[in-house]
Amino acid sequence: MEQWANWAWLFGIIGLIIALLMYSSLKKKDAGNERMQDLSNQIHEGAMVFLKREYSILAIFVIIVFLLLFWLINWQTSVAYVSGAICSMLAGLTGMTSATRANVRTTQAAATGGLEEALSVSFFGGGAVMGIAVASLGLLGLGIYYYVFCNDPTTASYLNGFGMGASSVALFARVGGGIYTKSADVGADLVGKVEAGIPEDDPRNPGVIADNVGDNVGDIAGMGADIFESYVNSVIASIAIAATMAMTANVAMRQAYMALPLVLVMLGFLCSLVGIWSVKLLAKAGPQRALRYSTFIAAALFLIIGWFVVKSMSVSTGTFWAVFWGMLAGILIGVITEYYTSAGPIIKIAESSQTGPATNVITGLAIGMESTALPIFIIVVAIAFAAYNAGLYGIGLSAVGMLATVGATMSIDAYGPVADNAGGISEMSELGPEVRSVTDRLDALGNTTAAIGKGFAIGSAALTALALFSAYGQAVKLTSINLINPKVVEGLFIGGIIPFLVASMTMKSVGKAAFKIVEEIRRQFREIPGIMEGKGKPEPAKCVDIASKAALKEMILPGLLAILAPILVGFILGKEALGGMLAGAVVTGALMALFMANSGGAWDNAKKYIETGHLGGKHSEAHNASIIGDTVGDPFKDTSGPSMNILIKLMSVIALVLAPLLV
Amino acid sequence: MEQWANWAWLFGIIGLIIALLMYSSLKKKDAGNERMQDLSNQIHEGAMVFLKREYSILAIFVIIVFLLLFWLINWQTSVAYVSGAICSMLAGLTGMTSATRANVRTTQAAATGGLEEALSVSFFGGGAVMGIAVASLGLLGLGIYYYVFCNDPTTASYLNGFGMGASSVALFARVGGGIYTKSADVGADLVGKVEAGIPEDDPRNPGVIADNVGDNVGDIAGMGADIFESYVNSVIASIAIAATMAMTANVAMRQAYMALPLVLVMLGFLCSLVGIWSVKLLAKAGPQRALRYSTFIAAALFLIIGWFVVKSMSVSTGTFWAVFWGMLAGILIGVITEYYTSAGPIIKIAESSQTGPATNVITGLAIGMESTALPIFIIVVAIAFAAYNAGLYGIGLSAVGMLATVGATMSIDAYGPVADNAGGISEMSELGPEVRSVTDRLDALGNTTAAIGKGFAIGSAALTALALFSAYGQAVKLTSINLINPKVVEGLFIGGIIPFLVASMTMKSVGKAAFKIVEEIRRQFREIPGIMEGKGKPEPAKCVDIASKAALKEMILPGLLAILAPILVGFILGKEALGGMLAGAVVTGALMALFMANSGGAWDNAKKYIETGHLGGKHSEAHNASIIGDTVGDPFKDTSGPSMNILIKLMSVIALVLAPLLV
């Protein structure tokens, strides 16, 4: 079976062709009336403008790093680095293109065909195209470099550059996209809903297009780059551990261990295709079930066939169990995330809103902090079992297990923002409440299923970072990263600071960027005559421009901090201290990711719970208090929280790439 | 010089006599009119009822642990444990007694003698009695057990029990006191100020006595136990490292290293007396300067004489530098704490209040997160330098350096709540705005100087916990706590969870307890006829009773979690994993302590900044928003944040005491 790994690139190409075919079938669908098409084009162009500017900045950064790697490490690593960066950008671009084409077609499907038809367009045309494309780009890039470098263990480490390329683009994309989406959201809501008293997505609001663009650059492009990065790095970490580990008896066996992670994701890719396809069949059983079952079908199929794959290769069966624990942990964390952002906890937050915004915020923070315990504990158990079954290599494989069926999970994650956009377009083009109700149901559907996806993202980030950390330890030939050595403790503390600093920076950035948008919308309301009566034409492009510039400016500092910190610690305090730093960053990063994502999600759903008529419903005192909590939660859940995931992996993969200089 | 350590107990007794003399001189001062005395008695009795109940619960706990230690370790450790617990309780009791006698006399002094006289009563009668008593109890307990156990390195470890006794009482006292003070504060304010529209400390409000009791049980008894615990454990950790370290060439030299920390705190005690006494002389130069300089005088004197002490003993001069770095780090962290809770950051929070409570909360959280970076970085540098100068032992000494002059720093910390109470009594006994303005100025004076004290507390907690962690490593004979070992990573993650869980629990507890008090005050306003017209007599004792019961009930769960977690991890995952756990807890605990304390302090001062007339002043939109942030910050800065300090030390000292069972 290990020879199959050399064909991963082909799987990638086939996958890309499938995605392309699905995309062209989407393009053929009806895009609605002229107004809808116009709005969709504005969103599409706004998103493209942002991506173009973002990628221009990143290009400079990528070229600098390319030259540094070329000069300091070797040309192979630097070429792999650039490829990783490009693949990551392509993942974002593909997702964005399909999503901004699928949104208006989903609206039209909702208007003409109802829920089932709208689900089909948004899921297959938006979500699945992106899910398949992300996995395919990963298989293509990993496949090529595996074939070129990894058939010889001495050159296997060149592959690490690919992971670093993916990570560094992902961090900027996540942070930039996260700042964009939240500042546009908060800005548009603050002036539109609160000050002017017009509904969400009202066409008179010049910030609405920017808000809809934000859904695409944050939730689609940002998340695509994030998941791509996890996917690629879980495989790379496992290969890096296999390439240097001592437990392999002979060369053939080592090659089998190096091939296994890639073979597993190839299998996972096929199972994802089956899972995605199953939505078509299951749709009759109800859309909610269809989405949920598709994930489980992909996962179950992957585990069953995975068992035989492992059996057929010259690797221990313990490796299968490591994969199994990882997947199980991912699902459990997803279920816990779902619990903390629904059910009991959100009712508690809603009830505490009755005594005002302060108690709402305190309860939300307390629940977010509490919600870190079980997921981290599950990760601990997964590490323990995976390591028991397959050593440090097992930790890497458990991350691979979580991510192998990314094609399926990502499809569900990515269709949500498409549905959200579809709702916005229906509102702006005034298709009436019936169409809006279809898109709202579609959106709500995605929200509940997406909780599992978020759990997967955080869990896999922690496991991938730990696997990269282990790979780093082997790469710099450390048999011990000793906490009794004061330098390691120093590293641990420095690592612990970084997530707090990045969280702080990104939260402040959202505030600054939102403030600029607020000012611009206020200016338009003031200066454009007749805008409130629907006669004067708003200038949404200006808001898009301001949000883009602000987000891109603000993404630089946290990005540089994440990149420079491991380099400085490695060269000043040494390789053992750098190990301590990575450990510190992973612990506080994972805790902050869970805390912020779950607080934010819980506040959001507590508000929605009140809006459905509980505790006085809309416009009650409790509702007003819950809006405050939700606003605090916005940068928590969509900017700072998700940045943590990439942050910890990026720092680890940089350390891994730097390893040759630190030995 | 090393023989001096055998006389530490005598220093303790002399110190206690000085404290007693100062207390009896306080008692002779005028306690004002009948109404004032009545109020003061109510506060005194309320505080005593709480302490009595708290200590009854703790007595059961202490007896159980005594029996367990007796059975599992040895009788010496168990006796030392009980002594530590009793000394900690006495520290709380002494502080409480002097503070609740000093408050009314300070009010009277403010009414008759003005600011300088009021400062003298509150500082010498309240703060200094406590500062001296805490240091003396530490010297007495440490002195006796040093004399008995530590002249023989093989029995030196029995001293650790004393530290564990101090820590376990401290955690309960901090958590219980913190929940009490904030629930009474929030409860009284919510119904009194917000709902009934009567001023703070209005005698008609039945919650006001409980609020004033809370200042004593939280800020006095809770903080006294906290500082006592840091003081004792920094010495114990250094002795434990000295007793087992390999670097000592011979027995005499080892004895000198074991004696040094105790000799240093004896010297620090003398210097503190000079510092306290200097306030008398400096008072003419203005009270603000007097307080600030007294700390610096004690510190400078300590360093100068300390140099000669170290020179005269058979220890390396590097030990002096370790002490120096610790003290310098403490001062720097204090200055940074002061910056983040004043100056630029609070103006930013105040400005963000103009766009509503959500932006106020977001900015406060972001600033709190940012404020963790510099202090932690300073701790890292202090560790690096201290370890460079004197190895792991140096880390312990740096904590000793921070805490040696605790007599002086604690006196300043403890006089603040006395001034606060004095203001409350002046308000309730209707002495008029002039007296109130004197006590307010006295209170404000304490607030700015106390920032340095808070910085010391957090910095010393982190260093002490690290020193205990190092001592643990040596005690279980580990030469490596290896992060490449998955078990250590598992421990690290579990340790990381604990501070988040304890923070969550304590925040929720404040909410629950405050809710009960709100209900009781509402009931009294509703059911007691004529209460609002000043005719019906409120029943403050009921509020005191409810706050006590609720706080004591809520302190149990977080306390048990902190105690059981290291025991379970030690026995289930092993001694190396327990080491990882301690490291994880110290990192996230120190970060959360800084984050919560500084966010809370900054919100509080942002509100005060607006109240002094900025951005619209009182009752403006910005002011209303800033009240929300301040309320969120209440449990942050006075309950959950300070609990972190003890939590990390308690877990470490439990591990150290358990060490013989884990070898």
Q: Do B591 and A358 touch (CB under 8 A)?
A: no
3-state secondary structure B137-187: HHHHHHHHHHHHHCCCCCCHHHHHHHHHHHHHHHHHHHHHHHHHHHHHHHH
Length of chain B: 663
What value does the mean pLDDT take over residues A516-522? 88
Which candidate from A369, A518, A579 shows the least CB-CB separation from B504? A369
- Of residues A135, A98, A134, A102, the one with CA closest to residue A118: A102
**Of the candidates A500, A508, A591, which has its C-beta nearest B500's C-beta?**
A591
Using CB atoms, pick whichever of A473, A484, A595 lies closest to residue B470. Answer: A484
Cβ distance B494 to A590 less than 8 Å, yes or no, reads no
- Provide the shortest C-alpha distance from residue B359 to chain A (in Å): 7
Q: Could you identify the residue written with the tokens 């079980």?
A: A374
> With an 8 Å Cβ cutoff, are B508 and A366 in contact?
yes
3-state class (DSSP) for residue A536? coil
Examine the pLDDT at B206 and tell me if it is beyond 90. no
Q: Note the pLDDT of residue A109.
A: 93
Average of per-residue pLDDT across A499-526: 90
Query: Counting every residue, how long is chain A?
Result: 663
Q: Report pLDDT for B597.
A: 92
Residue B427 and residue B209 in contact, taking contact as beta carbons nearer than 8 Å: no
User: What pLDDT sits at residue A649?
Assistant: 93
pLDDT of residue B445: 77
CB B319 within 8 A of CB B247: no
Average pLDDT over residues A488-497: 96
Q: Distance, in angstroms, between A376 CA and closest chain B CA?
A: 7
Residue whose token pair is 């140096």: B394
Kindly indicate whether the ipTM for this predicted assembly is greater than 0.90, answering yes or no: yes
- Quick check: A182 and A71 in contact, CB under 8 A? no
A432: left (phi over 0), alpha (psi -120 to 50) or beta: left
Spatial CA neighbour of B295 closest among B187, B412, B444, B203: B412
Share above pLDDT 90 across residues of chain A, in percent, rounded to a whole number: 56
Give the mean model confidence (pLDDT) for residues B292-299: 88
Residue A382, judged by CB atoms within 10 A of its CB (0-12, 13-18, 19+), counts as buried
Are residues A628 and B361, on separate chains, in Cβ contact within 8 Å?
Answer: yes
Question: What is the torsional sign of CA A251, A256, A257, A261?
Answer: positive
pLDDT in tens, A38-88: 889 989 988 998 899 999 999 999 999 999 999 999 999 999 999 999 999
pLDDT confidence of B104, banded at 50, 70, 90?
very high
Residue A482: strand pairing partners: B482
Question: Nearest residue of A to residue B590 by CA position?
Answer: A493
Phi first, then psi, for residue A660 (nearest 5°) are -55, -30
Could you give phi then psi for residue B241, rounded to 5 degrees? -65, -45
C-alpha to C-alpha distance for B586 and B581, rounded to whole angstroms: 9
Decide if A625 contacts A128 (C-beta within 8 A).
Answer: no
Tokens of B33: 């009119």
Residue B539 — pLDDT band, cuts 50, 70, 90?
A: confident
pLDDT(B424) > 90: no
pLDDT of residue A448: 66
Whole-number average pLDDT of chain B = 90
DSSP string over B47-69: HHHHHHHHHHHHHHHHHHHHHHH
Check if the beta carbon of residue B80 is closer than 8 Å to that of residue B143.
no
Question: CB A365 to CB B507 under 8 A?
Answer: yes
Q: Is the pLDDT at A451 greater than 70, yes or no?
A: no
Dihedral of the alpha carbons of A185, A190, A194, A200, in degrees to the nearest 10: -20
Q: Say which amino acid occupies A619.
A: H
CB contact under 8 A, A363 and B508: yes
What does the DSSP assignment read for A618-649? TTSHHHHHHHHHHHHHHHIIIIIHHHHHHHHH
Residue B322 has pLDDT above 70, yes or no: yes
Work out the end-to-end distance of chain B between its first and last CA atoms, rounded to an integer number of angstroms.
34
Local structure of B482: helix, strand or coil: strand
Phi and psi at residue A484, in whole multiples of 5°?
Answer: -80, -20
Whole-number Å distance between alpha carbons of B220 and B239 = 29
- What is the average per-residue pLDDT within A528-547? 85
Contact yes or no for B496 and A466 at CB 8 A: no
Instruction: Write the residue in B358, B481, B595 that is nearest to A500 by C-beta.
Output: B595
**SS3 readout for B100-114:** HHHHHHHHHHHHHCC
Closest partner residue to B392 (CB to CB) among A470, A486, A583 is A486
* A472 within 8 A of A576, measured Cβ to Cβ: no
- Exposed (0-12), middle (13-18) or buried (19+): which is A285, by Cβ within 10 Å? exposed
- What is the token pair recorded at A411? 């499809």
What is the per-residue pLDDT across B588-626, written as a single tens digit (0 to 9) for each?
A: 999 999 999 999 999 998 998 998 888 888 888 899 899
pLDDT at B449: 66
Instruction: Give the pLDDT of residue B506.
Output: 94
| Neighbouring C-beta atoms of residue B536, cutoff 10 Å | 15
Residue B482, beta-bridge partner list: A482
Spatial contact of B587 and A584, defined as CB atoms under 8 Å apart: yes
The pLDDT score that the predictor gives to residue B409 is 87
Least confident of A463-467, A617-621, B194-198: B194-198
Query: pLDDT digit string (tens) for B49-101?
Result: 889 999 999 999 999 999 999 999 999 999 999 999 999 999 999 999 999 99
Residue B249: pLDDT band (50, 70, 90) is low
Cβ contacts below 8 Å, chain A against chain B, sum to: 214
Mean pLDDT calculated for residue range A426-436:
87
Is residue A299 within 8 A of residue A257, CB to CB? The reply is: no
pLDDT of B437 above 70:
yes
Q: Tell me, what's the pLDDT at A335?
A: 86
Q: For residue B134, what pLDDT is reported?
A: 94
pLDDT of residue A223: 84
**φ and ψ at A405, to 5 degrees?**
-95, 35
For residues A651 and A563, give the distance between their C-alpha atoms in angstroms, rounded to a whole number.
7
Contact B77, B159 (CB under 8 A): no
What pLDDT is stored for residue B451 in this prediction?
A: 67
Residue A194 in this model has a pLDDT that exceeds 80:
no
Q: How far are the Cα atoms of B172, B176, B540, B558 from residue B554, in angstroms, in the given order?
A: 10, 7, 21, 8
Angle at B226 between CA B637 and CA B161, to 5 degrees: 145
pLDDT: which is higher, A505 or B440: A505
Q: Which residue has the tokens 């996972």?
A: A268
Mean pLDDT of A327-342: 88
Would you call A496 and B587 a contact, using CB atoms and an 8 Å cutoff?
yes
B95 vs B416: CA distance, rounded Å = 13
Q: What is the pLDDT of residue B593?
A: 95
- What are the b/e assignments for B153-171, b being 16+ CB within 10 Å? bebbbbbbbbbbbbbbbbb
Q: In angstroms, rounded to a whole number, what is the distance separating the alpha carbons of residues A243 and A246?
A: 9
Q: What number is the average pLDDT over the span A215-229? A: 87
Residue-level pLDDT at A450: 67
- Residue A62 has a pLDDT of 94
The predicted-structure confidence for A76-124, as pLDDT tens digits, reads as follows: 999 999 999 999 999 999 999 999 999 999 999 999 988 888 988 999 9
- Among the partner-chain residues A358, A368, A380, the one whose CB lies closest to the CB of B632 is A358
Cα–Cα distances (Å) from A215 to A421, A436, A542, in that order, read 7, 17, 17
Distance of CA B235 to the CA centre of its chain: 17
Predicted confidence (pLDDT) at residue A446 exceeds the cutoff of 80:
no
Closest residue by Cα to residue A417 from A375, A385, A447: A447
pLDDT of residue B306: 95
Name the minimum distance, in Å, from the CA of A471 to any CA of chain B: 10
For residue B519, pLDDT beyond 90:
no
**CB-based contacts of A128, cutoff 8 Å, min separation 6:** A22, A276, A411, A415
- In this predicted structure, what is the pLDDT of residue B470? 92
Report d(CA B182, CA B175) in Å as an integer.
11
**Measuring CA to CA, which residue among B619, B288, B283 is closest to residue B448?**
B288
Predicted confidence (pLDDT) per residue in B269-285, tens digit = 999 999 999 998 887 77
Q: CB-based contacts of B80: which residues, under 8 Å, 6+ apart?
A: B145, B149, B158, B159, B160, B161, B162, B165
Instruction: Determine phi and psi for B246, rounding to 5 degrees.
Output: -90, -15
Q: How far apart are CA B185 and CA B210, in angstroms?
A: 8
- Residue B198 confidence (pLDDT): 82
Q: What six digits make up the tokens of B392?
A: 């792991």
In this prediction, residues A437-456 reach a mean pLDDT of: 77
Among B135, B167, B51, B171, which residue's Cα sits nearest to residue B100? B51
Distances from the Cα of A310 to the Cαs of A275, A303, A383, A416, B459, in angstroms? 21, 10, 20, 35, 51
Q: What is the pLDDT of residues B116-133, one digit of tens each?
A: 889 889 999 888 999 999
Picking from B489, B522, B561 by the largest number of A CB atoms within 10 A of its own CB, the best residue to mutate is B489
- Using CA atoms of A200, A204, A205, A209 in order, give the dihedral in degrees to the nearest 10: 90
- The answer to whether the Cβ–Cβ distance between A631 and B358 falls below 8 Å is yes
Helix segments in A73-159, DSSP class H: 75-112, 115-120, 129-149
| Best mutation target, A355, A378, A379, A484, to test chain B (most B CBs within 10 A) | A484
